[in-house]
């Protein structure tokens, strides 16, 4: 129970810190807005984006009735598609990110803490996974097992945990040799106890940071795969919207908004998760941020303040009597 309570407390403190950070707040706000869009998409979207029966309204320019115009090939409302697109992007990104975080940190901790054969085997597997080109592999697997986001998520998770496992492993190796862990071992704490109480908390920030960054990376990759037409053929995703705009001649007919809209959607979701990731990085390691403002500090320090400082540092000789 105490562990759960501590964890809950830790999460609360963590979000507070994240909110206090300017970068983090921007990220949190955007992610919040996108989540609202994803959950309440049917309420927000003015049209049914799956409705392909409006053949008369093909390729309309933005207007009051269609905020971002309609798609070139089938006449769906682009604004509604944009809102629904958050669902695919966020769910693929989040599910994959969390799964990778879980798998990667577990395997990393195992390799680092248990060591021995377990470590050896896991690291050899990592060596192999890293060599295989991910995008061609994903294409091959969707070809064999069918085009669907489930397959895509599975491939991403199966081949995406390696980087995180490596970082976690090296972090664990450092902590393992720290004096406080040695002391706990000597005082008879079980391996499991040490893992839960010392090692997991120490790597948790790192894992959360890399999860945010992984989510961002996965969203870009998902958009790329959808763009290539490897996602669910029926789902509405930003990548597929871009592909439709391109193949439908959005470029050719000068309808740049059909490209810009999904592009901005991808950008916002990736950007917000990256902001959060970088903010956490700043919280973990403040050195990354500090020190950039020194010169401005000096430039601000002028006039009376500087004179006073220098005067207070004045020193002289006392005349000997």
Partner 1 sequence: MSKALEIENLKVAFPTHRGVIRAVEGVSLNIDKGECLALVGESGCGKSVTSLTAMKLLDDTAIVRADKHIICGEDVLGFSDKQMEALRGRRVSMIFQDALSALDPVMTVGRQLDEVFIRHLRLSKKEARERSVAALAAVGIPEPGARYRSFPHELSGGMRQRVLIAMAFACEPELIIADEPTTALDVTIQAQILELLKKMQQQSGTALLFISHDLSVVSNMADRIAVMYSGKIAEQAQRDELIARPLHPYTRGLLSAVIGINDKKDSFIHIKGTLPDPADKPHGCYFCPRCSEAGEVCFVRQPLLKERVSGHYVRCHYLRCHRSERGEENE
Partner 2 sequence: MKKGYVLKRIIYTVFVFGVVVTLCFFIPRIGVDDPCARYYPAQGNMDDESYEVIKELTRKQYGLDGSYLSQYLRYLKGLLHGDLGNSYRAGSPKVWALICDRLPWTLVLSVSSMLICFFCGVVIGTRCAMKRGRWQDKALMNASTVTTAIPSFFIALMLTYFLGFELEIFPAYTDQNLVSSFDWSLRSICAVAYNAALPVLSTMLGGIISNAQGVRNSVISVTGEPFIVTARAKGLSRRNVLYKHVLRNALLPIVTGLGMSLSGLIGGSVVIEQIFNWHGMGTLYLEANNTNDYPLMMGIMIFISGFALAANLITDLCYSLLDPRVTLGEEG
**Are 46 and 80 within 8 A, CB to CB?**
yes
Question: How many alpha carbons lie under 13 Å from residue 272 in its C-beta half-sphere?
Answer: 22
Task: Give DSSP secondary structure letters for 279-291.
Answer: HHHHHH-GGGTTT
| Contacts with 236 (C-beta within 8 Å, 6 or more apart), sequence order | 49, 50, 81, 84, 85, 87, 88
270 touches partner 2 (CB under 8 A): yes
Task: Please tell me what DSSP assigns to residue 12.
Answer: H
318 touches partner 1 (CB under 8 A): yes
**3 state DSSP class of 70:** strand
Q: What angle do CA 196, 198, 201 make, to 5 degrees?
A: 75
Site for partner 2 in 111-150 (CB under 8 A): 127-128, 131-133, 135-137, 139-141, 143-145
Task: Give DSSP secondary structure letters for 189-215.
Answer: --HHHHIIIIIHHHHHHHHHHHHHHHH
192 touches partner 1 (CB under 8 A): no
278 touches partner 2 (CB under 8 A): yes
Residue (39 or 298) nearer to partner 1, CB = 298
Stretch that binds partner 2, among 90-98, 161-169, 190-198, 218-226 (CB under 8 A): 218-226
Helices 200-227/134-145 angle, 10° precision: 70
224 touches partner 2 (CB under 8 A): yes
Q: Identify the residue among 282, 295, 303, 304 touching partner 1 (CB under 8 A).
A: 295
315 touches partner 1 (CB under 8 A): yes
Interacting residue ranges for partner 1, rule: CB under 8 A: 290, 293-295, 297-298, 300-301, 306, 309-310, 313-318, 320
User: Which residues form the interface with partner 2 (CB under 8 A)?
Assistant: 127-128, 131-133, 135-137, 139-141, 143-145, 216, 220, 223-224, 227-228, 242, 245-246, 250-252, 254, 256, 259-260, 263, 266-267, 270-271, 274-275, 278, 291-296
């Amino acid at each position: 129970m105490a562990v759960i309570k501590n964890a809950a407390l830790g999460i609360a403190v963590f979000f507070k810190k994240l909110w206090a950070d300017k970068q983090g707040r921007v990220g949190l706000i955007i992610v919040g807005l996108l989540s609202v869009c994803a959950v309440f998409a049917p309420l927000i979207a003015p049209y049914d984006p799956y409705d392909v029966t409006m053949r008369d309204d093909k390729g309309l320019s933005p207007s009051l009735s269609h905020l971002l115009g309609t798609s070139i090939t089938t006449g769906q409302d682009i604004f509604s598609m944009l809102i629904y697109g958050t669902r695919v992007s966020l769910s693929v990104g989040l599910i994959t990110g969390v799964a990778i975080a879980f798998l990667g940190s577990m395997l990393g901790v195992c390799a680092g803490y248990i060591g021995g054969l377990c470590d050896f085997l896991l690291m050899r597997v990592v060596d192999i996974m890293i060599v295989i080109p991910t995008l061609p592999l994903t294409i091959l697997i969707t070809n064999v097992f069918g085009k669907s986001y489930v397959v895509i998520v599975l491939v991403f998770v199966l081949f995406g945990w390696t980087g995180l496992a490596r970082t976690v492993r090296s972090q664990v190796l450092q902590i393992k040799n720290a004096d406080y862990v040695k002391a706990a071992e000597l005082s008879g704490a079980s391996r499991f106890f040490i893992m839960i109480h010392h090692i997991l908390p120490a790597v948790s920030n790192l894992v959360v940071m890399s999860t945010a960054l992984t989510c961002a990376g996965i969203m870009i990759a998902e958009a790329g795969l959808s763009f290539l037409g490897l996602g669910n053929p029926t789902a509405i995703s930003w990548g597929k919207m871009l592909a439709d705009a391109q193949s439908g001649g959005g470029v050719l007919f000068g309808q740049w908004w059909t490209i810009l809209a999904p592009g901005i959607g991808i950008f916002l979701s990736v950007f917000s998760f990256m902001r959060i990731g970088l903010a956490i990085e700043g919280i973990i390691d403040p050195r990354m941020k500090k020190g950039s403002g020194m010169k401005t500090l000096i430039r601000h320090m002028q006039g009376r303040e500087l004179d006073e400082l220098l005067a207070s540092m004045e020193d002289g000789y006392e005349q000997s009597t």
